[in-house]
Amino acid sequence: MDILSSVGVPVFAEKGSGGGFSIMEEYTLSRAVFSQAERNGLLNALGALKAAQYPETERLIEKLGAVFRQTGTSDRIEIDFSPWGSPENKGKQRLDLIRNALRLRKLISFEYVNAEGGRSVREAEPDRLIFRDYTWYLSAFCRKRNEYRTFRTSRMKNVTVSDETCPERPAISAVKNNAEEPAVKIVLRFNEKILSRIWDLFDDSLISRMPEGDCRLEAELPDSEWLYSFLLSLGSNAEVIEPPHIRKEVALRLRGALIYYTD
């Protein structure tokens, strides 16, 4: 209470069984509560959230901009996570549906396309939305698998929200422990000339120098089609050291690709 009062928020106490602490109804937030740096930081942070396609942030930016008597500040830092050539606000409607289902604790159903192109119909109890590696994911209890799974929202098609309220379940937080694709530890030897590309995707702590001059990457990654596409895209600049089954699969795919390039 003292902290609120010290920044000019009118707090008062009411006695009795229905009493307590309250803020005066006619009170409105004063822009003087925030410093100029704090105002800019708040608007810029909301601008980043807007770029991540989180719903309703644009209207909130407009309202706070009016309170702070400044407009256009967040536009000075442009953040866009969408791929080149993608339609503006793609996936926003889907994200709105998922967010509302989370808020109301409602069951959702959707068609899901996994990394291998397989399609399945799912019913899921939403747990949380996660923004990671420029992508929105939904952590949810999947009734088809009878366990928590993480779904990439861009692969969720025909999302519908039912009237059924989801039961209470213990929340989980580790994305890697409930991913739709199992994680596997990859050891990769690669040429230093593609180091900048590896830095774009992985933290420095996962990369080390090898005595012979090459670099080494050790990371846990989903054992999925994305992983093979990534490894093949490195061409002759990288070699899979471990695990053996991924090394073998990459070799098979490379030999298969050679069929199209032999004259």
Tens-digit pLDDT profile for residues 227-262: 898 999 999 999 999 999 999 999 999 999 888 887
**Mean pLDDT value across residues 13-35:** 61
Tens-digit pLDDT profile for residues 86-114: 555 556 788 889 989 998 999 999 999 88
Q: What is the pLDDT of residue 176?
A: 45
Query: Residue 48's Cα: distance from chain center in Å?
Result: 13
> pTM of whole model > 0.85?
no
Domains and CATH numbers, the chain: 2-76 (no CATH), 92-177 (2.30.30), 183-261 (3.30.70)
The residue with tokens 């939305």 is: 129
Q: What is the pLDDT of residue 135?
A: 80
Q: What is the pLDDT of residue 182?
A: 72
Tens-digit pLDDT profile for residues 45-58: 665 555 555 555 66
* Residue 218: pLDDT over 90: yes
With vertex at residue 22, the alpha carbon angle to CA 17 and CA 27, rounded to the nearest 5 degrees, is: 155
